[in-house]
Amino acid sequence: MTDTHIQLGGQDAPAEIPPGPAPDNVPSPVPPQVPDQPDVPEIDPQGPGTMPQPDIPPEFPPAQVA
């Protein structure tokens, strides 16, 4: 009779473990989407002209005053 109890308990535990890990794997695919945000920073390298512009504006104001 004790063997029957062990089998029932043993099967219940392992059965619950597989279902648990499965759900965890589902959310994992979501984090990979985070790298999509880094793609936006790539725009900064393409927008180097934006940085030089700030230096030019200071010169423009003086030119307008003259």
For 10, the 3-state DSSP assignment is helix
Strands (E), 1-66: none
Q: Buried b / exposed e across 7-22, counting CB within 10 Å, b at 16+?
A: eeeeeeeeeeeeeeee
Residue 30: domain span? 2-65
Q: Which two tokens stand for residue 40?
A: 């936006």
Give the chain's domain count: 1
Dihedral angle over CA of 53, 59, 61, 62, nearest 10? 180
At 9-61, the pLDDT tens digits run 545 545 555 555 555 555 555 555 555 555 555 555 555 555 555 555 555 56
- The pLDDT of residue 63: 56
